[in-house]
Amino acid sequence: MTIVLASGNAGKLREIRAALTAVQAADLHLPCAAELGAPAADEPHGTFLENALAKARTVAAYTGLAALSDDSGLVVPALSGAPGVHSARYADHDANDDTNNKKLLGAMRDVADRRAFYYAAMVYAAAADDPAPVFAEGFWRGEIITEPRGNGGFGYDPLFFDPTVGKTGAQMTAEEKNRVSHRGLALRRLLRLLKRRKIL
């Protein structure tokens, strides 16, 4: 079975493929949209779920195949939800992980409440006009520390500390992160729903 991954983010693709391989016994072919020449989808919406659905539909329409999309990011309540849906472009349109993390540290400099959470919305669409797409969500709660720790992960992982694990996302192995992360949780929930609907 082929499911196109509607993402161009190398870190997300790596985590999604690893999580699917770990929990799904079926033989899945998981090309990313770019490998099939699909254009990047616009993400104009104010919620992760709406953007994830837009990406899945765009890729399914272009490829004629089922698509699985992820829209996710970091939410800091003390910053009115920022970076939120703009997590990948928080610093500016050409932002990278380093510039985004520097902006976040600057914004948090005088903030006492450092609680934060990662959120992921996952959508499976059998076709562009699928009237009943499958969706799932996942949360990963933690706090923003004052300086980066660790060399793994991507995005805000060096600043995102999980007190239950005692590590930042960037200090965890890929397996540890998939067990506790927003994306890992959302994927496991999505797979249960796909099996329940007998799609997998």
> Exactly one of 42, 70, 71, 98 is catalytic; which is it?
71
State which H helix or E strand residue 72 sits in: strand 66-75
What is the H or E stretch that residue 69 is in? strand 66-75
Q: Hey, CA dihedral for 98, 101, 107, 110, is it positive or negative? A: negative
Distance CA 49, CA 169 (A): 23
Q: Is 130 a catalytic residue?
A: no
Whole-angstrom distance, CA of residue 13 vs CA of residue 32: 8
List the catalytic residues: 71
